[in-house]
A and B are shown apart, each in its own frame.
Chain A
């Protein structure tokens, strides 16, 4: 795996994954609980959704356990390489992720371009264990390493005109086979409303399981927004722009009736999901289980079913 040079010592370099995982059991639990994964709190809404008009059934507890690294790195939606989820890892393995820089510009007082070395030095990495819910009805639990997006935004000092954040993924047709075809509007674009971008749960991830990100997972740096469908979490991030108007986004441009701008996970859309590694479906939680943290952002807003 090619990656950016880093003098950060990752814990996994000295600890094998199973031991790493067992040592991190407490983090997994505390991480998910502090991240709002109190399943019982979400149970009533799940019950109501599945059987409208009847009392909520007794909830089976659905524990969250970390998805194995091998599953996380061999089941990826990364259309820049291929639409085959199991085919991405191989096609992406030689993707050049160094040198890499991220331009942060737009409606701000101090626009800057950060090299990956600067980013790793300036923003200390934290572990965040998040659920990842794909719009295709499958989900994982991933121990990301990263830092809040708000930290890098604060560095550039957004002006009061900045209402949205626009993300642009890399445009590298030489290394990304699908970018040589006509069918998709490359580069990948995504966006967040300012309040979402500044929320503590929204991170820029540079690693997972204590290792630098592998190319198929969005190396060297990507966005992770755990309460939204996975396609909002743009990979191989090159540009962050502060803008006044709602930016165009990749999937919304392709099929606006199915992929809204907000794209918050909701059991009203698909009430169940297949957790990778489990045999049967489990209920999908409102805001992917992060309602306690983020539902207030949308108080009084009618997002509509497809937004």
Chain B
């Protein structure tokens, strides 16, 4: 019975990560993706990538807090979909938008250097996606965990890339800064939760043992 519920939750997770893509495709073909569909799709796919990347990072803390193992089944789905939307974001930029016109792309990068950060994030996510293949994962043994830790670097880069891309001034806190700082705040919390002592303090098993001990002491 419990296993069946988990299967449904995983199916729901797949549907949830596919929904933005379905929405993008439908709005594109029904001409509801504004009158500038390429730019809009480019921005939205980037938004989805950052959001999914942060959501994927909530899986481990949520497992630690609740002790519910299904969060570990969500984690690769969310992580791989973040890579998918980041790749879509990149492809929309270099093809329908710039038509593989590399001199133009380089000119744009010189004006908007945060694109390089985005590219770095994409490379990390690509490595993480490839190393999530079962064979490579087994081959890497203990190193796999170390490699996957780079997801935190990718998340930091993604939030910086986003914050510099939107129109605002991050230093004077004017303009469109609320969303980038919200993302940054969420990321900081997620990073803090992975600091070993804090990780131990919030973990489900630890708390259960502690509360048991407390009860015994009270008795």
B is a partner of A? yes
Q: Is B101 close to A, CB under 8 A?
A: yes
- From B34, B98, B176, contact of A85 by CB (8 A): B34
Bound-complex Cα distance A274 to B104 (A):
13
Given A137-B39, A271-B107, does the pair A281, B176 have CB atoms closer than 8 Å? Answer: no
Q: Which of B135-188 contact A (CB under 8 A)?
A: 167-169, 172-178
Whether A272 lies near B176 (C-beta < 8 A) is: no
Contacts of B99 in A (CB 8 A): 280-281
Given A254-B168, A270-B108, A270-B111, does the pair A183, B36 have CB atoms closer than 8 Å? Answer: no
Whether B176 lies near A83 (C-beta < 8 A) is: yes
Cβ contacts A185-199/B at 8 Å (1 or 0 each): 100000000000000
Contacts of A254 in B (CB 8 A): 167-169, 172, 174-175
B interface residue numbers (CB < 8 A to A): 34-36, 38-40, 96-99, 101, 103-104, 107-108, 111, 167-169, 172-178
4 further contact pairs, Cβ within 8 A, besides A50-B104, A255-B175: A85-B34, A254-B168, A255-B168, A272-B98
Q: Is A51 close to B, CB under 8 A?
A: yes
Whether B174 lies near A75 (C-beta < 8 A) is: no
Q: Which of A257-280 contact B (CB under 8 A)?
A: 269-272, 274, 276-277, 279-280
Q: Is A74 close to B, CB under 8 A?
A: yes
Q: Is A136 close to B, CB under 8 A?
A: yes
Contacts of A138 in B (CB 8 A): 36, 39
Given A50-B103, A270-B111, A277-B35, does the pair A184, B97 have CB atoms closer than 8 Å? Answer: no
Interface size on A, residues (CB 8 A): 28
Contacts of A271 in B (CB 8 A): 104, 107
Given A271-B104, A272-B101, A281-B98, does the pair A183, B177 have CB atoms closer than 8 Å? Answer: yes
Whether A185 lies near B174 (C-beta < 8 A) is: yes
Whether B101 lies near A71 (C-beta < 8 A) is: no
Cross-chain pair count, CB within 8 angstroms = 66
Q: Is A159 close to B, CB under 8 A?
A: no
Question: A83 — nearest CB in chain B belongs to which residue?
Answer: B176
Interface residue SS majority, chain A: loop
Whether B176 lies near A183 (C-beta < 8 A) is: yes
Contacts of B103 in A (CB 8 A): 50-51
Q: Is A86 close to B, CB under 8 A?
A: yes
Whether B107 lies near A276 (C-beta < 8 A) is: no
Bound-complex Cα distance A253 to B172 (A):
10
Question: A140 — nearest CB in chain B belongs to which residue?
Answer: B35
Contacts of A279 in B (CB 8 A): 96
Interface-central residue, A51, A272, A277, by most chain B CB under 10 Å: A272
Give 21 A-B contacts (CB < 8 Å), ordered by A residue.
Answer: A50-B103, A50-B104, A75-B34, A75-B35, A85-B36, A136-B39, A137-B39, A183-B177, A254-B174, A255-B167, A255-B175, A270-B108, A272-B104, A274-B36, A274-B38, A274-B97, A276-B36, A277-B35, A280-B96, A281-B101, A281-B104
Whether B175 lies near A184 (C-beta < 8 A) is: yes
Q: Which of A98-144 contact B (CB under 8 A)?
A: 136-138
Contacts of B98 in A (CB 8 A): 272, 281
Contacts of A276 in B (CB 8 A): 35-36
Bound-complex Cα distance A297 to B92 (A):
39
Q: Which of A239-263 contact B (CB under 8 A)?
A: 253-255
- From A83, A253, A274, contact of B39 by CB (8 A): A274
Contacts of A83 in B (CB 8 A): 167, 176
Q: How far is the CB of B94 from chain A (nearest CB, A)?
A: 12
Contacts of B35 in A (CB 8 A): 70-71, 74-75, 86, 276-277
